Chains A and B, each alone.
Chain A
C-alpha cells in the first residue's frame, strides 16, 4: 500500500503542484480563480435576462480602448474598463429606445468598434501584444499588477452584487412591479451593465474577447439547469466557473494548449454532461 501512496503523492506533486513552482502560473491561477467566480455570478443575470448577445458584443467593443492604452504604454485596463462602461451605458440607452431593433443598433455599433480596434492594432508596429492573445486570452502572461487590479475589481464587483442583490433580482424578475414600489429600475439596469463591462474586461485576460461568452454564460446556464434557486444558482455557477478555469489552466500547462480555449472547452463539457444527466433523469 505504501507503494501506491508514494505513486499518488508523486502524481499529485507532478500534476497539481509542480506547475506552481513558476510565478507566472501562480499569477495565472489567481486571475483564473477570480474570473471563474465573477463571470457566472453575473452570468446568472445575463442568462435569465437574455443578455448573451450584449455580453459578446461588449467584449468585442472594448478593443479600441485596450489598444489605445497599449499605444500610450498604459495598463490595458485603464483603456478597456472605462471604454467598456461607456459602451455598456450607451447600449443600454440603445436598447431602451423603442421602435428601432435593439439587436441591430447594438450590433452595428459593436462590430464597428471591434473593426476599429483591429485596424488600430494593425497600424501600430512593435507592440508586445498579439491579436491572437487578445482574441483568445493569454492568462499565462498576466503581470503582478494585472493580478492586483483584477483582485480589487473582483472584490468591488462581488460587493455590489451582494449589497444590491434583492434590488437586482426584483428589477430583473418584475421590472414594472419594482418601479411601482419606487426602485430606480433604469439605474439598476445600467449598474448591472456597468458591472458586466468590468467583468468582461477582466475575463478577457483569461479567455480572450472571442471566448468571454464561454465563461459568462456556460457555467451559469449549467447551474440554472441544476438548481432551482437563484442565489444558489449563482453560487454553483461560481463553483463550476472555478472548476472550468482551473482545470483549463492545468490542461493548458500539461498539454501545451492555449489556456482560454481549454477553459472554454471544460465549461462546455460540464454543460454537456449536465444536460445529458438532466435528460436521463
Chain B
C-alpha cells in the first residue's frame, strides 16, 4: 500500500468528481487552495492518506503545514478544493477528527486537572447539557493509562512538563475515539519518556486502523515513525512511502539548500 499523491499540476480538473474508490483511503485532499491574510499559503494541494498508516508531513517554515492542518480540522476555510474524511465533508465529520495543536494556543490561566482536560475530549459524546456517564469515565481512564498519566490525573495541566502536556493532549484525542488524528509539532521540546510513550501510542493507533498525520521539523522522527511522507512547500513536493518521498533530491528542493537539510537531518532544529 502506498499513499496516493500528485502535485498541483495534476490536481483536480473541473468536472472530475473523485471519490475514495479504494476503501483504504480515509482522508482525501484535492486541489486545496487556502489564503491567509491575502497571501496564498496553499496552492493546489492534493494527496490521500490511508487508515492503518502514519503519514509524516514535513516542509520548511512557512510551507503551510499548520495551515493545512487548520483547514483539515475545519478551523479555517479553504478558498478552493475539497477535503473528504471517510467520504464525508469536514462539517459532517466533526466527531471523527482529533487535533493535537501546538501548545501555545491554550489558555493556561484556567485551572484544569489532567482528568478534566481529557474528559473535554468526550464533550461531543456526552452531549449538550449533560454530565459524563460511566462509558465516558472509562474512556478517559483508558486514555490516561495509554499515555502513562493515570496516576497523575488530579494534577493541574499547567504544572506539567511540555512532554507530559503533549501526552495529555494525545490522551484527549484517544478519549475522543476518532478515525483521524492530526498532530502539529507534537514532538517539539518533548522529553525522552514522553517521546517513547507517544511513539507507542501512535503505533497502536496505526495498528488499530486509524489514520495519523504528524507534522514535525525533526526529519529523524518522521523517518522512524512514518509509513508515508508528505513533503509540503505551499504545494506538494513529494508524497509517498517514506523512503521514496524523503529522497535527497526531494529534500534539496524542499529546503532549497543541502546545508539546511543536513541541519534538520541531524536534529538540530
Q: CA of A233 to CA of B75 in the docked complex: distance in angstroms? A: 31
Taking the complex as formed, is A170 at the interface, i.e. its CB lies under 8 A from any CB of chain B?
yes
> For B99, what are the chain A residues with a Cβ–Cβ distance below 8 Å?
176-177, 180
CB distance from A66 to the nearest CB of B (A): 32
Residue A166, interface by CB 8 Å = yes
* B129 beta carbon closer than 8 Å to chain A: yes
Q: How far apart sit A174 and B104, CA to CA, in the bound complex (Å)?
A: 10
Q: For residue B129, which residues in chain A have a CB less than 8 angstroms away from its CB?
A: 163-164
Does A167 sit within 8 A of B, measured CB to CB?
yes
Q: Quick check: A173 and B176 within 8 Å, CB to CB?
A: no
Known: A166-B123, A173-B120. A181 touches B94 (CB 8 A): yes
A229 touches B107 (CB 8 A): no
What are 30 A-B contacts defined by CB distance under 8 Å? A48-B107, A166-B120, A166-B123, A166-B126, A167-B128, A169-B120, A170-B120, A172-B110, A173-B110, A173-B112, A174-B105, A174-B106, A175-B107, A176-B99, A177-B101, A177-B172, A180-B73, A180-B94, A180-B97, A180-B98, A180-B99, A181-B123, A181-B124, A181-B176, A182-B95, A224-B111, A229-B111, A229-B113, A230-B116, A233-B111
B156 within 8 A of A: yes
B74 on interface, CB distance cutoff 8 Å: yes
Q: Are A228 and B95 in contact (CB under 8 A)?
A: no
Q: Which residue of A lies closest to B132 (CB)?
A: A166
Chain A residues near B124 (CB-CB < 8 A): 181-182
Q: Could you tell me if A174 and B123 are in contact, using CB atoms closer than 8 angstroms?
A: no
The yes or no answer to B109 lying at the interface (CB within 8 A) is yes
Within 8 A of B (CB), among A148-193: 163-164, 166-167, 169-170, 172-183
Enumerate B112-150 residues with CB–CB distance to A below 8 Å: 112-113, 116-117, 119-121, 123-124, 126, 128-129
Known: A181-B95, A228-B111. A176 touches B101 (CB 8 A): yes
The residue that A179 contacts in the complex, of B74, B119, B121, B172, with Cβ under 8 A, is: B74
Binary interface encoding of chain A residues 46-59 relative to chain B, with 1 for a CB under 8 A from any of its CBs, else 0:
01111000000000
User: Besides A172-B110, A178-B123, A233-B111, 7 other CB < 8 A contacts?
Assistant: A167-B123, A176-B75, A176-B101, A180-B99, A181-B123, A224-B111, A229-B113
How distant is the Cα of A180 from the Cα of B85 in the complex, in angstroms?
A: 14
Cβ A230 vs Cβ B98 within 8 A: no
Chain A residues engaging chain B, CB cutoff 8 angstroms: 47-50, 163-164, 166-167, 169-170, 172-183, 224, 227-230, 233
Contacting A48 at CB < 8 Å: which of B74, B109, B113?
Answer: B109
Closest residue of chain A to B100 (Cβ to Cβ) is: A177
In the complex, A228→B115 CA distance in Å? 13
A182→B94 contact, CB < 8 A: yes
Partner of B120, one of A49, A164, A177, A179: A177
Report the Cα distance A180→B94, complex, angstroms: 7
CB distance from A223 to the nearest CB of B (A): 10
Q: How far is the CA of A202 from the CA of B107 in the complex (A)?
A: 28
Q: Which residues of B contact A179 (CB under 8 A)?
A: 73-75
Q: Which residues of B contact A163 (CB under 8 A)?
A: 129
Question: Is there contact, CB below 8 Å, between A180 and B75?
Answer: yes
Bound complex: CA A228 to CA B156 (Å):
7
Q: Indicate if the CB atoms of B107 and A174 lie closer than 8 Å.
A: yes
Name the distance in Å between A267's Cβ and chain B's nearest Cβ: 20
Q: Once bound together, how far apart are the Cα atoms of A50 and B109, in whole Å?
A: 9
B139-169: which residues lie under 8 A (CB-CB) from chain A?
Answer: 156
Residues from chain A with Cβ under 8 Å of B75 in the complex: 176, 179-180
The answer for the CA separation of A182 and B95 in the assembled complex, in Å, is: 8
A163 closest partner in B (C-beta)? B129
Smallest beta-carbon distance A212→chain B, Å: 21
